[in-house]
Structure 1
């Protein structure tokens, strides 16, 4: 498979694999890995460094929901897992439609059908600059009815015994054995992330926080990485698999299974409307 690499005139280098769910396969600052290091030959987007989430993030329980009296079913798209996961874009081919020395624009269009009954156009622009890398994701409703519009990013960062995370987070939603949220708990249920604790855990963390401050710091081996998110990405999913060399902090615009939770607002797009979110990754210290 083809890998497209764009290198800025400054300190950043990024490798992309558009045909693999619009994935990033490497991000480096002055030669240091900022996102999870992965083989350019990977064929599973879950092994990549980052990929876009749309038109929903995380899970839809049993792949079913009711919208305006209409029952909608989407495929269970993650092996034997009982719920639909992460939308359509991560399992689709994206195409490069524009590229220059410091940016790449990828596009994915969906014509409706079983995977998602609405037509849409998605674009992801990645721009490298001296002071950081900007990821911008847009979703345009091409259908004639209103469409749920989940958007987010799935960045994976290197993890060692010394990695620390600082983040101001709201309440965490605890989850059942199938990773569906059940009830709120205090923000520091798993760790007091404000105090910059070590990230590594002996048991799985796979939970979503509400009302975070849309900025966090990751420190390891003398490097501090700052990730910031745009307005609208008001939820942060924290995924720390045990005994692995990476972890994920995923800014998204809704909680897991929001479509089956009338008390939680799911973003919507009217016909012809476009929604846009963004994320920035920068190195604050090296």
Structure 2
């Protein structure tokens, strides 16, 4: 299976088109071939098995995270999305379509890779669309762009984003300026929007080992910072994530005792189509994409060794 590598100065990135068009690694190549990993490196067995949950990051398209029971309606069309979690019988499908399909390489160079995925209408998603990704690397940062183009004859709902996994050694700190958090039920679906201790702690910088989270946040100001202590992966270091305004929602997944966590820039909250009638667009996000319209957004990872 082909892994495509981007190279710029000391930065490297690898992409694996056949496994959801996923990112498989992003690191600094130091002296003596020492690597400092900025995202969790992909598990090689998961690459061979085409298992996207073992990747460094994968695209979220045409919706982000879970959809309650896989059911929703939009302007007269009914979505009936099947359960799709590998090894899990949850009735709530997650992460959309793109993460579980091979993508086509449209262009590849030393500094940029363009991928695409053509999706036909089906009962799971009754609109035809084209998804695209662009990975760009320069000497300072990795930029990832995700888009969907509605190729159907009716307007389509859409959410886009990415699902990065970051290393989580003891002492890892995450800072993000957020307005509120969706509290979730036992099935990890949003129920109540609230402010409080978790939001306050993330605003000033939270030690992630003190929090267990799988929550959506609203009112994100499109920037987040991760700080790591010195360890076997490298010296004291940090990473800044910046996103386009469309990616105004933020998901933090920080399971107990894990050596990774996720900080996801997204354009809609979990289950947004079912929450929309009650809460309106502001707290849940999401987009209406007209026929032939393209929805696109980028985020950038800027690492720093200190």
Q: What's the TM-score, normalizing by structure 1? A: 0.95
Matched residues, number: 284
**Cα drift, residue 187 of structure 1:** 4.9
> Is the contact between residue 79 and residue 123 of structure 2 (CA under 8 Å) also seen in structure 1?
no
Residues in 2 aligned to 1:173 and 1:88: alpha-carbon distance in whole angstroms:
24
1:96 to 2:84 alignment:
no
**Cα drift, residue 284 of structure 1:** 3.2
1:11 to 2:10 alignment:
yes
* Range that drifts further, 184-193 or 33-42: 184-193
1:64 to 2:71 alignment:
yes
Residues in 1 aligned to 2:111 and 2:51: alpha-carbon distance in whole angstroms:
26
> Is the contact between residue 145 and residue 297 of structure 2 (CA under 8 Å) also seen in structure 1?
yes
Residues 108-146 of structure 1, C-alpha deviations (whole Å, 9 max, x = no match): 110112332111111100100112111011110011110
What secondary structure, in the 3-state scheme, does the structure 2 residue paired with 1:157 have?
Answer: strand
CA RMSD of aligned residues (A): 1.5
What secondary structure, in the 3-state scheme, does the structure 2 residue paired with 1:90 have?
Answer: helix
> In the alignment, which residue of structure 2 is the partner of 1:214?
222
**Cα drift, residue 11 of structure 1:** 1.9
Question: Residue 230 of structure 1: which of 244, 261, 280 is its match?
Answer: 244
Residues in 1 aligned to 2:255 and 2:200: alpha-carbon distance in whole angstroms:
15
> In the alignment, which residue of structure 1 is the partner of 2:280?
264
Residues in 1 aligned to 2:196 and 2:42: alpha-carbon distance in whole angstroms:
31
Residues 166-185 of structure 1, C-alpha deviations (whole Å, 9 max, x = no match): 11111000000101101012
Q: What's the TM-score, normalizing by structure 2? A: 0.89
Higher helix share: 2
* Range that drifts further, 43-52 or 180-189: 180-189
Residues in 2 aligned to 1:187 and 1:115: alpha-carbon distance in whole angstroms:
37
- Cα gap change, 1:210 to 1:153, in 2 (>3 Å): same
**Cα drift, residue 72 of structure 1:** 2.2
> Is the contact between residue 136 and residue 276 of structure 1 (CA under 8 Å) also seen in structure 2?
yes
Residues in 2 aligned to 1:22 and 1:28: alpha-carbon distance in whole angstroms:
18
What secondary structure, in the 3-state scheme, does the structure 1 residue paired with 2:253 have?
Answer: strand
After superposition, residues 155-194 of structure 1 pair within 5 angstroms as 155-189=164-198, 192-194=201-203
What secondary structure, in the 3-state scheme, does the structure 1 residue paired with 2:209 have?
Answer: coil
> Is the contact between residue 169 and residue 187 of structure 1 (CA under 8 Å) also seen in structure 2?
no
> Is the contact between residue 78 and residue 126 of structure 2 (CA under 8 Å) also seen in structure 1?
no
Q: Which runs of 5+ in 2 are unaligned?
A: 30-34, 231-235
